[in-house]
Amino acid sequence: MKFLIENWYLVLTALVSGGLLAWTSVKDKSAGVSTAEAVRLINREKGVLVDVSDAAEYAAGHANGARNVPLETLTGTELPAKQLPSNKALPVVLMCKSGARAQRAAGILRKQGYANVVVVAGGLKAWREASLPIEKSAA
């Protein structure tokens, strides 16, 4: 105990640095994953890419292979079972035009029991900037 009292500045430094490390790791996860990490999850961990944009935005352009599950369909009591994986342990990679709606959808899916839900940071805009494939649907 005497050591702690005499070296209070060392203890304070350790606590502050630990707190900052914890804060940055939490902050980074909530901001979303990079497009490279999203592609890795899809290709190597059988992740399911889900676009939570409305039908018109989805038809105008979406990531190649993305399933469309509009955010408003997630707010009901029952989730759209066909578009979402039945195995709730699989990674679910969410995106929308900018990432804001995908963040809200991530919270909803986590409450529904999906264990590995991530959001593509920057959304479709970041996907385009990374020169990843985009397709359009018939409206």
Rounded-to-integer distance, Cα 86 and Cα 57, Å = 26
Rounded-to-integer distance, Cα 129 and Cα 122, Å = 10
Going through the chain in order, the beta strands assigned E by DSSP cover 48-51, 62-63, 67-68, 92-95, 117-119, 134-135
Residues with Cβ within 8 Å of 15's Cβ and at least 6 positions away in sequence, in order, are none
Question: Catalytic residue among 96, 102, 106, 109, which?
Answer: 96
First to last CA, the chain: 71
Active site residue 96: yes
Question: Alpha carbon of 26 to those of 20, 31, 39, 72, 111: distances in Å?
Answer: 10, 9, 22, 27, 18
Active-site annotation, residues? 96
